[in-house]
Amino acid sequence: MRHNRKRKQILRKLILRSGHISRLWAALVALCIGTTLLLLSVMIWWNFQQLLNGKSDENDSLGSTFLTVSKNVTDAKMGKPQLTIFSSNEIEEMRYAPEVQDVGVLTSNRFPVYATLNSALNFSTDMFVESVPDRFIDKRPEDWYWQPSNREVPIILSTEFLNLYNYGFAVSKGLPQLSESSIKALGFDLKVGEGELQQTFRAHIVGFSDRITSVLVPDSFMAYGNRLWGHNAYSEPTRLIVKVKDPSSKAFIQYLQTNDYTTNAEQLRWNKLRAIVEVVTGATGILAVLLMALGALVFILFIELTIAKAQQSITLLLQIGYAPGYLSRFMIKRFFPLLLATAVVSMIIAVLVQTGIAGWIKTMHLALPEYPGWPVYAALAVSTLILLTLVATSIVRAIRNTK
Amino acid sequence: MQLFLQDLVPIPLRDKVNAHRSDIWKRERTFNQGNCVFIQAPSGTGKTTLMHILYGIREDFTGMVHWDTYNIASISKDDLSQLRAMHVSVVFQDMRLFPELTAWENLEVKRLLTNSVAAEDVEKWLVRLGLGDKKNAIAGTMSYGEQQRLAIIRALVQPFEWLLMDEPFSHLDKANTDLAIALITEVVQMNRAGMILADLDDNDHFFYTQKIAL
């Protein structure tokens, strides 16, 4: 369409000869920086969510969302163990607490357990065992089951306990330090019950848990033991295992505090970090929106100034038969590419930064996606759409208002 | 396209219009396509005002102006553009060229809107009206006579059913007026269009079908 091009050439000469190109550049740079900041703040927020919610296994250290919850033992509660028991009502209530996805009961033994490590080491001790529903066990071993005919009982030990033994107990007592595999190879005897009903089982450790600080036996063994040898004293649990979507959630922590519950404090430390990240992203976001608003304002003023300067030409163009809609579209086609270009530049910066962050965070044995997530694209789409709408509206209005 | 007027009164001229008899103001008049109308209008009777009302530039009037079904008082901006681009052309008394464009660009900006007249024809018209060497002159620097001839050619480079002219030869000598008349007659006939020419003094530039007084 040669005549189309020639017509536009003349229109450009008539309408778009306003000077002050430096103002246009200033507006575009402000818009670009504003958009980039907006994308970065969304990205930081989103990346933190990714780390915290631990979608991927690699982030287990951060995203471990299983907490053991118990009641605070205070001076006032000392000597009154029934005060640290969870009633069935409280357990039920916990299921509906904020962020909570699942609640399990840590059942403890109500019968005596006496462990004897083989005679060579001559190590024996009274001990306690607990059990949880299988779904709460991380890294469940293959041989993790028990039935009454079995003389062997599998045990899962907390990694914490192994560490306590290796770095505390063994060193001070001159006992050998043990690796996980060597412990698994060790068998020991478990004397269970009292008097005539006492039985001896062979026990061996089949796995270690980061999640639950306890000595775990299969649920079926616990149920069997409690039925056979159990005292009836405390039948209700003192510790719960809780699956939490986001352990740093303010609402969840508020819930724990109001009920005077306590949990692994490590998990809650993220709450403080989260607060900081929220402040930083919030402040960046506000700054970004302000910058974008400023950029948009200067940009729109530039357009309105251009139209005002060309008012005589536009009036005459309308008088010789040009439609206001045609002139608006002409202006829009001239200015939209500039806005889209700033959006593209911002997006490229965001992608580069995300790739950089992903590489950097890998060195800390955490994982983040190589490319920005959908909230970043959504933020770009929404902000660009708003910007384009504002500019288009102001162009159409300015041309319509030209007499 | 038919032009229909009824009870037309420009608000700023209301008192004047009431004071003397006119063939247009406060009358009902119909002009059919192909009519060649001369409106004789002494100074101050509202000649330019009438032209601007017909062309949809002024809205300060009462009464009715209809171009076929288009009611000029309530026409949408897009329909008005369509009317001006395709059906009604005008030679303004004050020319209204783009002073910063060249003579040729002034014609092209209009011609390319509809692309209904060939560029070669327009070049020939420029030569016929003695503007062959002014093609690349900046319109603002041209004499009134030259600008007026340019404005006449601009009015002809679109399809039209009516040609409105407001003192179109006021800056032209006899020779140039005759050249312009010949060109206008030819193009108006080509378009089978009607024309309305308003001027101060009686004349016989065209074969008028009606002569009326404003």
pLDDT in tens, B74-126: 999 999 999 999 999 999 999 999 999 999 999 999 999 999 999 999 999 99
List, for residues B152-175, the tens digit of each pLDDT value: 999 999 999 999 999 999 999 999
Percent of chain A clearing pLDDT 90 (strictly above)? 24
* pLDDT at position A370: 85
* pLDDT at position A267: 59
List, for residues B15-61, the tens digit of each pLDDT value: 988 888 899 999 999 999 899 999 999 888 899 999 999 999 999 99
**B77·A322 Cβ contact <8 A:** no
* pLDDT at position A118: 66
> Closest by alpha carbon to B187, among B171, B165, B212?
B165
CATH label of the domain that carries residue B209: 3.40.50.300
How far is A389 from chain B, CA to nearest CA, in Å? Answer: 22
- As for how many domains chain B has, the answer is 1
* pLDDT at position B151: 97
Residues of chain B in contact with residue A4, where contact means CB-CB under 8 angstroms, are 112
Beta pairing, strands B36-40 & B210-213: parallel
Give the list of residues 6+ apart from residue B212 with CB closer than 8 angstroms, or none.
B23, B24, B37, B38, B39, B40
How far is A306 from chain B, CA to nearest CA, in Å? Answer: 16
Size of interface A-B (CB pairs under 8 A): 61
Residues of chain A in contact with residue B78, where contact means CB-CB under 8 angstroms, are 323-325
The partner residue sitting opposite A10, judged by closest CB among B77, B109, B158, is: B109
Cα nearest neighbour of B100 on chain A? A14
Cα nearest neighbour of B157 on chain A? A320
**B112·A6 Cβ contact <8 A:** yes
Q: Which residue has the tokens 């352990």?
A: A247
Please tell me the least confidently modeled range out of A44-48, A82-86, B128-132, B178-182: A82-86
Cβ count near B87 (within 10 Å): 19
Residues of chain A in contact with residue B86, where contact means CB-CB under 8 angstroms, are 321
Alpha-carbon gap, residue B165 to B90, rounded angstroms: 6
Exposure string of B149-188, with b = 16+ CB inside 10 Å and e = fewer, is bbbbbbbbbbebbbbbbbbbbebbeeebbebbbebbeebb
**A400·B77 Cβ contact <8 A:** yes
How far is B19 from chain A, CA to nearest CA, in Å? Answer: 32
B201 neighbors B26 (Cβ within 8 angstroms): no
Domain boundaries, position B77: 3-213
List, for residues A89-117, the tens digit of each pLDDT value: 888 888 888 888 888 888 888 888 888 87
Torsion of CA A382, A385, A391, A394, to 10 degrees: -90
Residue B142 has pLDDT above 80, yes or no: yes
Give chain A's residues under pLDDT 50: 55-64
* pLDDT at position A56: 42
Q: Which of A320, A329, A396, A400 would best serve as a mutation to test chain B binding (most B beta carbons within 10 A)? A: A320
How far is B99 from chain A, CA to nearest CA, in Å? Answer: 9
Q: What is the pTM of this model?
A: 0.70
Residues of chain B in contact with residue A322, where contact means CB-CB under 8 angstroms, are 81, 85, 113
* pLDDT at position A121: 63
Residue-by-residue DSSP string for A53-71: HT-SGGGHHHH--EEEEEE
On whether ipTM exceeds 0.90, the answer is: yes
* pLDDT at position A270: 66
Residue A313, burial from CB neighbour count under 10 angstroms (0-12, 13-18, 19+): buried
Give Cα separations from B196 to A244, B55, B60, B134, B154 (angstroms).
Answer: 85, 12, 21, 29, 17
Q: Which residue has the tokens 């006992």?
A: A175
